Protein backbone atom coordinates (compact mmCIF):
# COMPACT_ATOMS: atom_id res chain seq x y z
CA UNK A 1 0.00 0.00 0.00
CA UNK A 2 1.15 3.55 -0.68
CA UNK A 3 2.72 4.95 2.53
CA UNK A 4 0.26 7.86 2.66
CA UNK A 5 -2.67 5.47 2.30
CA UNK A 6 -1.24 3.19 4.95
CA UNK A 7 -0.96 6.02 7.48
CA UNK A 8 -4.44 7.28 6.65
CA UNK A 9 -5.87 3.78 7.11
CA UNK A 10 -4.33 3.56 10.57
CA UNK A 11 -5.53 7.02 11.62
CA UNK A 12 -8.99 7.22 10.07
CA UNK A 13 -10.47 3.71 10.32
CA UNK A 14 -12.86 2.77 13.12
CA UNK A 15 -15.56 0.22 13.94
CA UNK A 16 -19.24 0.85 14.53
CA UNK A 17 -18.93 -0.34 18.13
CA UNK A 18 -16.53 2.55 18.78
CA UNK A 19 -19.50 4.92 18.52
CA UNK A 20 -22.25 4.04 21.05
CA UNK A 21 -25.41 6.13 20.93
CA UNK A 22 -24.91 7.53 24.45
CA UNK A 23 -21.53 8.96 23.44
CA UNK A 24 -22.98 10.54 20.31
CA UNK A 25 -25.91 12.08 22.18
CA UNK A 26 -23.43 13.90 24.39
CA UNK A 27 -21.61 15.23 21.33
CA UNK A 28 -24.58 16.15 19.14
CA UNK A 29 -25.11 19.58 20.75
CA UNK A 30 -28.24 20.22 18.73
CA UNK A 31 -26.69 19.46 15.34
CA UNK A 32 -29.60 18.54 13.02
CA UNK A 33 -29.09 15.20 11.29
CA UNK A 34 -31.01 13.98 8.24
CA UNK A 35 -31.09 10.40 6.97
CA UNK A 36 -31.64 10.08 3.21
CA UNK A 37 -32.63 6.89 1.39
CA UNK A 38 -32.35 7.02 -2.42
CA UNK A 39 -34.88 4.56 -3.81
CA UNK A 40 -36.01 3.11 -7.12
CA UNK A 41 -38.65 0.37 -6.95
CA UNK A 42 -37.76 -0.72 -3.41
CA UNK A 43 -41.23 -1.24 -1.92
CA UNK A 44 -40.16 -4.60 -0.47
CA UNK A 45 -37.44 -3.14 1.76
CA UNK A 46 -37.79 0.63 2.17
CA UNK A 47 -40.63 0.58 4.69
CA UNK A 48 -38.84 -1.73 7.10
CA UNK A 49 -35.67 0.37 7.00
CA UNK A 50 -37.62 3.57 7.63
CA UNK A 51 -39.42 1.99 10.59
CA UNK A 52 -36.11 1.00 12.18
CA UNK A 53 -34.67 4.47 11.67
CA UNK A 54 -37.79 6.05 13.20
CA UNK A 55 -37.53 3.79 16.22
CA UNK A 56 -33.85 4.69 16.59
CA UNK A 57 -34.67 8.39 16.29
CA UNK A 58 -37.42 8.17 18.92
CA UNK A 59 -35.16 6.35 21.39
CA UNK A 60 -31.96 8.33 20.92
CA UNK A 61 -32.81 11.74 19.49
CA UNK A 62 -29.88 11.37 17.09
CA UNK A 63 -31.92 11.61 13.87
CA UNK A 64 -34.08 14.64 13.17
CA UNK A 65 -35.37 13.90 9.67
CA UNK A 66 -35.92 10.87 7.41
CA UNK A 67 -36.30 11.54 3.69
CA UNK A 68 -36.78 8.99 0.91
CA UNK A 69 -35.74 10.28 -2.51
CA UNK A 70 -37.81 8.55 -5.17
CA UNK A 71 -35.92 8.16 -8.43
CA UNK A 72 -39.02 7.44 -10.51
CA UNK A 73 -40.40 4.26 -8.95
CA UNK A 74 -43.32 2.51 -10.63
CA UNK A 75 -44.17 0.33 -7.64
CA UNK A 76 -45.35 1.32 -4.14
CA UNK A 77 -41.97 2.58 -2.93
CA UNK A 78 -43.32 6.06 -2.16
CA UNK A 79 -46.41 4.77 -0.37
CA UNK A 80 -44.45 2.23 1.68
CA UNK A 81 -41.93 4.87 2.75
CA UNK A 82 -44.60 7.42 3.68
CA UNK A 83 -46.66 4.86 5.59
CA UNK A 84 -43.54 4.00 7.61
CA UNK A 85 -43.06 7.64 8.54
CA UNK A 86 -40.61 9.13 6.04
CA UNK A 87 -41.01 12.30 4.05
CA UNK A 88 -40.96 11.32 0.37
CA UNK A 89 -39.63 13.57 -2.38
CA UNK A 90 -39.79 12.69 -6.06
CA UNK A 91 -36.87 13.80 -8.21
CA UNK A 92 -39.28 15.52 -10.64
CA UNK A 93 -40.68 17.74 -7.87
CA UNK A 94 -37.33 19.10 -6.67
CA UNK A 95 -35.66 21.98 -8.54
CA UNK A 96 -37.97 21.22 -11.42
CA UNK A 97 -36.59 24.12 -13.47
CA UNK A 98 -33.40 22.06 -13.82
CA UNK A 99 -35.21 19.02 -15.18
CA UNK A 100 -34.64 15.44 -14.07
CA UNK A 101 -32.11 12.85 -15.08
CA UNK A 102 -32.15 9.12 -14.43
CA UNK A 103 -29.77 7.59 -11.95
CA UNK A 104 -28.69 7.65 -8.36
CA UNK A 105 -26.49 10.72 -8.60
CA UNK A 106 -29.48 12.86 -9.52
CA UNK A 107 -31.52 12.08 -6.40
CA UNK A 108 -28.50 12.41 -4.12
CA UNK A 109 -27.82 15.86 -5.56
CA UNK A 110 -31.44 16.92 -5.21
CA UNK A 111 -31.60 15.56 -1.66
CA UNK A 112 -29.58 18.59 -0.56
CA UNK A 113 -32.50 20.79 -1.60
CA UNK A 114 -35.14 18.92 0.40
CA UNK A 115 -33.38 18.19 3.67
CA UNK A 116 -32.54 20.47 6.57
CA UNK A 117 -29.79 18.62 8.42
CA UNK A 118 -26.27 19.94 8.87
CA UNK A 119 -25.18 16.30 8.69
CA UNK A 120 -26.60 13.98 6.02
CA UNK A 121 -26.49 10.21 6.33
CA UNK A 122 -27.12 8.20 3.15
CA UNK A 123 -28.45 4.65 3.35
CA UNK A 124 -29.39 2.54 0.33
CA UNK A 125 -33.04 1.46 0.30
CA UNK A 126 -32.37 -2.06 -1.00
CA UNK A 127 -30.80 -3.39 2.21
CA UNK A 128 -32.37 -6.66 3.25
CA UNK A 129 -30.81 -6.44 6.71
CA UNK A 130 -30.35 -3.14 8.51
CA UNK A 131 -29.15 -2.21 11.99
CA UNK A 132 -28.91 1.03 13.91
CA UNK A 133 -25.13 0.60 14.05
CA UNK A 134 -25.16 1.81 10.44
CA UNK A 135 -26.30 5.19 11.75
CA UNK A 136 -24.12 5.46 14.85
CA UNK A 137 -21.07 4.26 12.95
CA UNK A 138 -21.44 6.85 10.20
CA UNK A 139 -22.41 9.73 12.48
CA UNK A 140 -19.72 9.08 15.09
CA UNK A 141 -16.56 10.33 13.35
CA UNK A 142 -18.36 13.49 12.15
CA UNK A 143 -19.38 14.45 15.68
CA UNK A 144 -16.04 13.46 17.20
CA UNK A 145 -13.60 15.27 14.90
CA UNK A 146 -14.33 18.60 13.19
CA UNK A 147 -11.69 17.84 10.55
CA UNK A 148 -13.68 14.85 9.26
CA UNK A 149 -16.10 15.91 6.53
CA UNK A 150 -17.07 12.59 4.89
CA UNK A 151 -17.37 9.09 6.39
CA UNK A 152 -17.54 6.00 4.18
CA UNK A 153 -18.85 2.64 5.33
CA UNK A 154 -17.25 -0.69 4.65
CA UNK A 155 -18.43 -4.21 5.36
CA UNK A 156 -18.37 -7.82 4.26
CA UNK A 157 -20.59 -8.26 1.21
CA UNK A 158 -21.55 -11.92 0.78
CA UNK A 159 -22.54 -12.81 -2.76
CA UNK A 160 -24.25 -16.13 -2.07
CA UNK A 161 -26.16 -17.77 0.76
CA UNK A 162 -26.38 -21.41 1.67
CA UNK A 163 -29.55 -23.45 2.09
CA UNK A 164 -29.79 -22.35 5.74
CA UNK A 165 -29.85 -18.70 4.70
CA UNK A 166 -26.40 -17.91 6.06
CA UNK A 167 -23.68 -16.37 3.94
CA UNK A 168 -21.47 -18.97 2.31
CA UNK A 169 -18.52 -16.62 2.16
CA UNK A 170 -17.76 -13.03 3.05
CA UNK A 171 -15.19 -12.77 0.27
CA UNK A 172 -17.72 -12.33 -2.56
CA UNK A 173 -19.73 -9.29 -3.49
CA UNK A 174 -18.33 -5.90 -4.31
CA UNK A 175 -17.50 -7.12 -7.81
CA UNK A 176 -17.37 -3.69 -9.42
CA UNK A 177 -15.14 -2.49 -6.59
CA UNK A 178 -12.58 -5.23 -7.13
CA UNK A 179 -12.68 -5.23 -10.95
CA UNK A 180 -13.02 -1.51 -11.67
CA UNK A 181 -12.91 0.94 -8.75
CA UNK A 182 -9.97 -0.44 -6.78
CA UNK A 183 -7.64 -0.77 -9.80
CA UNK A 184 -8.51 2.79 -10.83
CA UNK A 185 -7.78 4.21 -7.39
CA UNK A 186 -4.54 2.28 -6.97
CA UNK A 187 -3.32 3.45 -10.38
CA UNK A 188 -4.40 7.10 -10.42
CA UNK A 189 -5.03 7.96 -6.76
CA UNK A 190 -2.74 5.65 -4.73
CA UNK A 191 -3.22 7.73 -1.59
CA UNK A 192 -6.80 6.35 -1.57
CA UNK A 193 -5.73 2.70 -1.70
CA UNK A 194 -6.72 2.34 1.96
CA UNK A 195 -10.41 2.96 1.26
CA UNK A 196 -12.00 -0.46 1.71
CA UNK A 197 -15.32 0.18 -0.04
CA UNK A 198 -15.00 3.24 -2.31
CA UNK A 199 -18.42 2.51 -3.86
CA UNK A 200 -20.26 1.99 -0.57
CA UNK A 201 -23.82 3.29 -0.69
CA UNK A 202 -23.75 4.10 3.01
CA UNK A 203 -21.88 7.26 3.99
CA UNK A 204 -22.37 10.54 5.84
CA UNK A 205 -21.10 14.05 5.36
CA UNK A 206 -21.36 17.67 6.35
CA UNK A 207 -23.75 19.73 4.28
CA UNK A 208 -21.04 22.41 4.19
CA UNK A 209 -18.96 19.97 2.13
CA UNK A 210 -21.67 18.29 0.07
CA UNK A 211 -23.14 21.53 -1.24
CA UNK A 212 -19.71 22.49 -2.62
CA UNK A 213 -19.27 19.28 -4.64
CA UNK A 214 -20.36 18.50 -8.18
CA UNK A 215 -22.48 15.35 -8.31
CA UNK A 216 -21.67 12.75 -10.95
CA UNK A 217 -24.45 10.99 -12.77
CA UNK A 218 -25.75 7.54 -11.90
CA UNK A 219 -23.49 5.09 -10.13
CA UNK A 220 -20.45 7.31 -10.61
CA UNK A 221 -21.62 9.50 -7.76
CA UNK A 222 -19.89 7.66 -4.90
CA UNK A 223 -16.40 7.50 -6.37
CA UNK A 224 -16.68 11.07 -7.66
CA UNK A 225 -17.69 12.29 -4.19
CA UNK A 226 -14.69 10.51 -2.72
CA UNK A 227 -12.25 12.06 -5.18
CA UNK A 228 -13.78 15.53 -5.01
CA UNK A 229 -13.77 15.56 -1.21
CA UNK A 230 -10.06 14.78 -1.09
CA UNK A 231 -9.34 17.32 -3.82
CA UNK A 232 -11.25 20.04 -1.97
CA UNK A 233 -10.45 19.26 1.67
CA UNK A 234 -7.48 16.88 1.75
CA UNK A 235 -7.18 13.23 2.71
CA UNK A 236 -7.68 13.75 6.44
CA UNK A 237 -11.20 15.04 5.77
CA UNK A 238 -12.12 11.44 4.92
CA UNK A 239 -12.75 8.62 7.40
CA UNK A 240 -14.17 5.11 7.16
CA UNK A 241 -16.03 2.82 9.54
CA UNK A 242 -16.48 -0.96 9.62
CA UNK A 243 -20.18 -1.80 9.77
CA UNK A 244 -19.55 -5.53 9.77
CA UNK A 245 -21.95 -6.99 7.23
CA UNK A 246 -24.17 -5.84 4.37
CA UNK A 247 -26.98 -7.84 2.76
CA UNK A 248 -28.75 -6.45 -0.29
CA UNK A 249 -29.99 -7.35 -3.75
CA UNK A 250 -27.33 -8.19 -6.33
CA UNK A 251 -27.39 -7.20 -9.98
CA UNK A 252 -26.55 -9.33 -12.99
CA UNK A 253 -23.29 -9.09 -14.91
CA UNK A 254 -24.70 -6.94 -17.71
CA UNK A 255 -25.98 -4.37 -15.23
CA UNK A 256 -22.60 -4.37 -13.49
CA UNK A 257 -20.95 -3.69 -16.84
CA UNK A 258 -23.05 -0.56 -17.29
CA UNK A 259 -22.32 0.46 -13.72
CA UNK A 260 -18.59 0.02 -14.31
CA UNK A 261 -18.71 2.19 -17.41
CA UNK A 262 -20.42 4.98 -15.48
CA UNK A 263 -17.77 4.79 -12.76
CA UNK A 264 -14.99 4.84 -15.34
CA UNK A 265 -16.43 7.99 -16.91
CA UNK A 266 -16.60 9.72 -13.52
CA UNK A 267 -12.94 8.93 -12.81
CA UNK A 268 -11.73 9.91 -16.28
CA UNK A 269 -13.28 13.34 -15.85
CA UNK A 270 -11.24 13.72 -12.66
CA UNK A 271 -7.84 12.60 -13.95
CA UNK A 272 -7.72 15.39 -16.50
CA UNK A 273 -8.20 13.24 -19.57
CA UNK A 274 -8.22 15.44 -22.67
CA UNK A 275 -10.72 15.04 -25.46
CA UNK A 276 -14.28 13.69 -25.53
CA UNK A 277 -15.29 10.36 -24.04
CA UNK A 278 -17.93 8.32 -25.87
CA UNK A 279 -21.01 8.18 -23.70
CA UNK A 280 -22.76 5.16 -25.23
CA UNK A 281 -21.92 1.74 -23.86
CA UNK A 282 -22.47 -1.21 -26.20
CA UNK A 283 -23.31 -4.68 -24.96
CA UNK A 284 -24.57 -7.69 -26.89
CA UNK A 285 -27.69 -9.78 -26.52
CA UNK A 286 -28.99 -12.97 -28.09
CA UNK A 287 -31.93 -12.46 -30.46
CA UNK A 288 -32.93 -15.85 -31.79
CA UNK A 289 -30.06 -17.07 -33.94
CA UNK A 290 -28.33 -13.68 -33.92
CA UNK A 291 -26.18 -11.70 -31.54
CA UNK A 292 -27.27 -8.06 -31.68
CA UNK A 293 -25.76 -4.92 -30.14
CA UNK A 294 -27.61 -3.04 -27.42
CA UNK A 295 -26.53 0.55 -26.75
CA UNK A 296 -26.97 2.26 -23.40
CA UNK A 297 -26.39 5.87 -22.40
CA UNK A 298 -24.17 5.54 -19.35
CA UNK A 299 -23.20 9.05 -18.42
CA UNK A 300 -24.43 12.61 -18.31
CA UNK A 301 -22.67 15.83 -17.33
CA UNK A 302 -22.07 16.35 -13.63
CA UNK A 303 -24.60 18.38 -11.72
CA UNK A 304 -22.96 21.60 -10.45
CA UNK A 305 -22.34 22.23 -6.75
CA UNK A 306 -25.69 22.83 -5.10
CA UNK A 307 -24.37 26.02 -3.50
CA UNK A 308 -24.20 27.53 -7.00
CA UNK A 309 -27.93 26.99 -7.66
CA UNK A 310 -29.89 30.22 -7.02
CA UNK A 311 -33.08 28.34 -6.08
CA UNK A 312 -31.26 26.21 -3.47
CA UNK A 313 -32.15 28.40 -0.50
CA UNK A 314 -35.79 28.50 -1.64
CA UNK A 315 -36.09 24.74 -2.16
CA UNK A 316 -35.43 23.43 1.33
CA UNK A 317 -38.93 21.97 1.67
CA UNK A 318 -40.34 20.85 -1.70
CA UNK A 319 -43.69 19.06 -1.80
CA UNK A 320 -43.64 15.45 -0.64
CA UNK A 321 -46.13 12.83 -1.71
CA UNK A 322 -49.68 13.27 -0.49
CA UNK A 323 -51.27 9.87 0.07
Q: Which residues contact 24 (CB under 8 A, 6 or more apart)?
A: 60, 62, 136, 139, 140, 143
Across the range 119-137, mean pLDDT stands at 96
Across the range 40-51, mean pLDDT stands at 97
Q: Give 64's DSSP letter.
A: -
Q: Does residue 249 register a pLDDT over 80?
A: no
pLDDT at residue 323, as a whole number: 37
Sign of CA pseudo-dihedral 144, 145, 146, 149:
negative
Across the range 92-114, mean pLDDT stands at 94
Closest to 105 (Cα-Cα) out of 306, 315, 314:
306
Beta bridge partner(s), residue 242: 15, 154
Sign of CA pseudo-dihedral 128, 19, 149, 143:
positive
Question: pLDDT tens digit string along 173-212?
Answer: 488 999 999 999 999 999 999 999 999 999 999 999 999 9
Domains in the chain (CATH in brackets) are: 3-314 (3.90.550.10)
Angstrom distance (rounded) from CA 134 to CA 145: 18
Torsion of CA 25, 28, 29, 30, to 10 degrees: -100
pLDDT at residue 162, as a whole number: 52
Q: Does residue 138 register a pLDDT over 60?
A: yes
Angstrom distance (rounded) from CA 191 to CA 200: 18
pLDDT at residue 252, as a whole number: 84
- Residue 101's CB is within 10 A of a number of other CB atoms, namely 17
pLDDT at residue 12, as a whole number: 99
3-state helix, strand, coil in the chain (%, to 5): 40, 20, 35
Q: Which residues contact 284 (CB under 8 A, 6 or more apart)?
A: 291, 292, 293, 294
pLDDT at residue 319, as a whole number: 47
Angstrom distance (rounded) from CA 192 to CA 224: 13
| Band of pLDDT at residue 321, cut at 50, 70 and 90 | very low
- Residue 64's CB is within 10 A of a number of other CB atoms, namely 18
Report the phi/psi class of residue 318: left, alpha or beta, with left for phi > 0 and alpha for psi in -120 to 50. beta
The length of the chain in residues reads 323
229-234: long-range contacts at Cβ-Cβ below 8 A with a sequence spacing of 24 or more?
Answer: 229/149, 229/150, 229/205, 230/189, 230/191, 230/192, 231/270, 233/149, 233/209
| Band of pLDDT at residue 45, cut at 50, 70 and 90 | very high
- Residue 113's CB is within 10 A of a number of other CB atoms, namely 21
- pTM for the structure as a whole: 0.91
Amino acid sequence: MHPTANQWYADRTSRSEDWPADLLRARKHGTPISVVLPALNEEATVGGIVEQIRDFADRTGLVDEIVVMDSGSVDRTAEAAAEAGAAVCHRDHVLSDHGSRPGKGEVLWKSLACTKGDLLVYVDADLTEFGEHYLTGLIGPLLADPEVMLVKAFYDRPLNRGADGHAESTAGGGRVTELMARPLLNSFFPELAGVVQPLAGEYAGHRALLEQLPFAAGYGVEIAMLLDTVRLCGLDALAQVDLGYRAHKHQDTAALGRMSSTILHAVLRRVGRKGPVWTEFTQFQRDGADIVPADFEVTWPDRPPMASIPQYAEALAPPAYTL
